[in-house]
């Protein structure tokens, strides 16, 4: 009997694959980074072939390190960086351009033009999203308008659009399936989140032809099987979800009110609002959390574009650390008397501000400011932004649970950062034993689809805490620090668009 489930987690900076056994234990994994392309300021691209190659190679690595063959794997679950747009030619299976990544800001002007037409409210009502280059719709339009011959090829039915899940399923099944799951579809700005269907008026507004779109599917189901040659046997694909929703599932945040926050390249906090589609009054997003066994759950989401990316900046941009995990110890050595703020608006500001033109800023520098103070400011900026998101969530939906926050993602490994997070948000921060919650969520979906783990309750009970970080900072100090943060954000927003 097939005892294992393979999760493929295709993220912004790396692709990971993990083989889980029936007890949700990681039995073997593989991880590979791939190149980031920055052809112009504010543009971010990936080579879709890299995403595909690393998905296959890391899966093979995971299987060999687990000592597991294809026939022992009950199902594959896929999870992916969301919003990123891949477009390929159905005749060759080759991308027609590099993938445009969720962080890419090239379509800011297109968004501004649509905003000026006064359709933003209607878009928000249908999609739960705010008009921003972050989402897929304007990226798709950009490819159709800027790649020679793309519109004609689309009209002739030769082109396919997909988010990264669609691309991987297409390639894994040898071009037999062209699908997108509801969570990824809900981030395209072309999907009506009430019906979970493509919306004709949005397709017209963004000038996207229906012929290029994938079929929208739930998070579990039969999504085809891999070609025989890839892994030495056919493996069914039974689960798909965008990575933030997969993390929410992996954190077993199934009850309305539960919140998880994931600290990878960006930070994404999701509040499960159950069957209720809550409309935010504080510029949060309403999004599909999951559709499992036909039941749709929604979430309020706060998206911060720069979290771990600020640590990458310390490492690769400033060169003041040589490894990401040195950032916490360096921050711990900072001079407590210096209060330095970094507003890391390197690619604009996300929730709740949504300013694509904002650029990063440092405040409070003195002659004594050095690497330690900058590291502290970078890590703290993520904590302050999380606080802004959680407060907005509570105002939007008072049923949001304030008794704990479940965290995961690469940065959650930093004890210093997690303690600071608890201090600044004033809520206990729970880090689970399984750090790879995104992959676990995708695995659970696939295992659920394949009847390996039919029971949601049982999965919830398997969630275990590694550590709870409890606030040590007194309220007075917290308020002082937060006031300074607000002033720093205000100044950054004020400066936005004013640089020569
Ligand atoms: N110990 C650490 N302390 C602080 N940041 C870390 C640590 N380990 C990893 N990171 C940051 O976390 C990010 C990687 O997290 P990950 O969840 O793998 O991201 P993604 O899925 O976006 O590729 C990187 O940006 C890295 O700088
Ligand atoms: O790949 P991550 O973990 O940075 O997640 C990216 C998000 O899905 C973007 O919305």
Alpha carbon distance 258, 299 (integer Å): 10
Q: 490: part of which helix (H) or strand (E)? A: helix 475-495
Q: Looking at ligand 1, which atom is closest to the CA of residue 307?
A: 25
- Per-residue pLDDT of 300-329, as tens digits, reads 999 888 999 999 999 999 999 999 999 999
Q: Which ligand is nearest to the CA of 304?
A: 2
Nearest CA to ligand 1 atom 6: 411
- Ligand 2 closest atom vs CA 134: 10
Residue having the nearest C-alpha atom to atom 9 of ligand 1: 410
Pocket probe for ligand 2: among 44, 83, 84, 102, the residue whose CB has the most ligand atoms within 8 Å is 102
Q: Would you state the pLDDT for residue 216? A: 97
Peptide bond into 438 cis (omega under 30): no
What is the number of the ligand closest to the CA of 135? Answer: 2
**Confidence bin at 500 (pLDDT 50/70/90):** low
Ligand nearest to the CA of 268: 2
- Other C-beta atoms lying within 10 Å of the C-beta of residue 234: 16
Query: Does residue 346 form part of some domain?
Result: no
Binding-site residues: 12-14, 16, 82-83, 134, 243-244, 265, 308, 312, 410
Query: Torsion angle, CA of 369/372/377/382, rounded to 10 degrees?
Result: 170
pTM of this prediction exceeds 0.90: yes
Confidence at residue 367, expressed as pLDDT on a 0 to 100 scale: 95
Q: Is residue 312 part of a domain?
A: no
Position in ligand 2 atom list of the atom nearest CA 187? 10
Residue 363 lies in a domain: no
3-class SS shares of the chain: helix, strand, coil, % to 5: 40, 25, 40
Give 399-457 pLDDT, tens digit per residue: 887 888 999 999 999 999 999 999 999 999 999 999 899 999 999 999 998 888 878 88
Instruction: Pick the residue whose CA is nearest to atom 5 on ligand 1.
Output: 411
- Domain assignment present for residue 42? The answer is yes
pLDDT in the model for residue 369: 96
Please give the sequence-ordered ranges of beta strands (E in DSSP) within 250-378, or none if there are none: 259-263, 267-274, 285-292, 295-304, 341-343, 361-363
Provide the pLDDT for residue 374: 97
Rounded Cα distance between 218 and 241, Å, is 9
C-alpha–C-alpha distance, residues 339 and 485, integer Å: 10
What number is the average pLDDT over the span 161-173? 98
**Phi-psi bin for 390: left (phi > 0), alpha (psi -120 to 50), beta?**
alpha
* Residue numbers belonging to the annotated binding site for ATP: 12-14, 265, 308, 312, 410
Domain residues for the domain of 134 are: 4-243
Band of the pLDDT at 53, cuts 50, 70, 90?
very high
- DSSP state for residue 404 in the 8-state scheme: -
Atom of ligand 1 nearest to the CA of 379: 4
| SS3 state of residue 469 | strand
Give the whole-angstrom CA distance, residue 240 versus residue 77. 6
Residue 270 has pLDDT above 90, yes or no: yes
| pLDDT classification of 365: cutoffs 50, 70, 90 | very high
Mean of all residue pLDDT scores within the chain? 94
Residue 2 has pLDDT above 90, yes or no: no
List, for residues 278-294, the tens digit of each pLDDT value: 999 888 999 999 999 88
pLDDT at site 399? 84
Average pLDDT over residues 229-256: 96
Name the residue among 199, 297, 176 with its Cα closest to residue 241.
297
- The domain that holds 209 is classified in CATH as 3.30.420.40
Percent pLDDT > 70 in the chain is 99
**How many domains does the structure of the chain reveal?**
1
Measured from the alpha carbon of residue 15, the closest ligand is 1
Mean pLDDT is lowest, of 179-183, 244-248, 300-304, for: 300-304
β partners of residue 32:
15
402 compared with 84, residue with greater pLDDT: 84
Atom nearest to 266 CA in ligand 1: 22
Give Cβ neighbours of residue 399 (< 8 Å, ≥ 6 apart).
Answer: 256, 257, 273
DSSP class per residue in 266-278? SEEEEEEEET--P
Closest Cα to residue 206, out of 117, 283, 277, 102?
117
Indicate which residue's Cα is closest to atom 6 of ligand 2: 81
Q: What is residue 1's predicted lDDT score, i.e. its pLDDT?
A: 60
Q: How far is the CA of 263 from the centre of ligand 1 (A)?
A: 7
Distance from the alpha carbon of residue 411 to the mean position of ligand 1, in angstroms: 5
Residue 423 lies in a domain: no
From 285, 233, 281, 239, select the one nearest 126 (Cα to Cα). Answer: 285
Residues lining ligand 1, Cβ inside 6 A: 11-14, 264-265, 308-309, 311-312, 324-325, 327-328, 409-411, 413-414, 417
**Residue ranges lining ligand 2, Cβ < 6 Å:** 11-12, 81-83, 102, 242-244, 264-266
Q: Are strands 179-181 and 215-217 parallel, antiparallel or unpaired?
A: parallel
Ligand 2, from 51, 82, 288: best to mutate by most atoms within 8 Å of Cβ? 82
The answer to whether position 65 is within a domain reads: yes
Residue nearest to atom 4 of ligand 2 (CA): 265
Q: How far is the CA of 309 from the centre of ligand 1 (A)?
A: 8
Rounded average pLDDT over 231-252: 97
Q: CA 113: distance to chain centroid? A: 26
Greatest C-alpha distance within the chain: 66
> Which atom of ligand 1 is nearest the CA belonging to 309?
25
Q: 81 C-alpha vs ligand 2 centroid, how far in Å?
A: 4
Nearest-CA residue for ligand 1 atom 21 is 11
The β-bridge partners of 88 are 95, 160
In 11-95, DSSP assigns E strands to 14-20, 26-33, 45-46, 73-80, 86-89, 94-95
Q: Within 10 A of 205 (CB to CB), how many other CB atoms are there?
A: 18
Contact 214/182 with Cβ under 8 angstroms?
no
């Amino acid at each position: 009997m097939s005892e294992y489930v393979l999760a493929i987690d295709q993220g912004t900076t790396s692709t990971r694959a993990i083989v889980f056994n029936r007890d949700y234990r990681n039995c073997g994994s593989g991880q590979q980074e791939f190149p980031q392309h920055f052809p112009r300021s504010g543009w971010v691209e990936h080579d879709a072939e890299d995403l595909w190659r690393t998905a296959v190679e890391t899966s093979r690595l995971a299987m060999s390190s687990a000592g597991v063959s294809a026939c022992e794997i009950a199902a594959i679950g896929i999870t992916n960086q969301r919003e990123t747009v891949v477009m390929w030619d159905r005749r060759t299976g080759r991308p027609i351009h590099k993938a445009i990544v969720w962080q890419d800001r090239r379509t800011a002007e297109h968004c501004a033009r649509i905003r000026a037409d006064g359709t933003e409210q209607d878009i928000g009502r249908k999609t739960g999203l705010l008009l921003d280059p972050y989402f897929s719709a304007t990226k798709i339009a950009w490819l159709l308008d800027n790649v020679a011959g793309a519109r004609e090829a689309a009209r002739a039915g030769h082109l396919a659009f997909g988010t990264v899940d669609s691309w991987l399923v297409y390639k894994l099944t040898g071009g037999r399936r062209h699908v997108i799951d509801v969570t990824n579809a809900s981030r395209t700005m072309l999907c009506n989140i009430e019906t979970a269907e493509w919306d004709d008026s949005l397709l017209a507004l963004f000038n996207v032809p229906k012929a290029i779109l994938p079929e929208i599917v739930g998070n579990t189901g039969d999504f085809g099987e891999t070609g025989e040659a890839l892994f030495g046997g056919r493996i069914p694909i039974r689960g798909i979800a965008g990575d933030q929703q997969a993390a929410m599932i992996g954190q077993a945040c199934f009850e309305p009110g539960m919140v998880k926050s994931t600290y990878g390249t960006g930070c994404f906090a999701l509040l499960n609002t159950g069957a209720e589609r809550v409309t935010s009054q504080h510029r949060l997003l309403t999004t599909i959390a999951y559709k499992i066994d036909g039941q749709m759950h929604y979430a309020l989401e706060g998206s911060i574009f720069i979290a771990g990316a600020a640590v990458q900046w310390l490492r690769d941009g400033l060169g003041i650390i040589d490894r990401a995990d040195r950032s916490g110890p360096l921050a711990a050595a900072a001079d407590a008397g210096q209060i330095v703020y970094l507003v890391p608006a390197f690619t604009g500001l996300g929730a709740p501000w949504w300013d694509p033109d904002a650029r990063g800023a440092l405040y409070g520098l003195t002659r004594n400011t050095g690497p330690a103070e900058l590291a502290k400011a970078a890590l703290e900026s993520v904590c302050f932004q999380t606080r802004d998101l959680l407060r907005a969530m509570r105002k939007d939906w008072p049923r949001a649970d304030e008794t704990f926050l479940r965290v995961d993602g690469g940065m959650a490994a930093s004890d210093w950062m997690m303690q600071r997070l608890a201090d600044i948000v004033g809520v206990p921060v729970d880090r689970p034993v399984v750090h790879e919650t995104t992959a676990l969520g995708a695995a659970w979906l696939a295992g659920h689809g394949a009847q390996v783990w039919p029971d949601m309750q049982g999965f919830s009970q398997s969630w275990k805490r590694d550590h709870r970080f409890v606030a040590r900072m007194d309220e007075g100090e917290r308020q002082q620090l937060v006031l300074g943060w607000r002033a720093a954000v205000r100044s950054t927003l004020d400066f936005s668009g004013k640089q020569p």
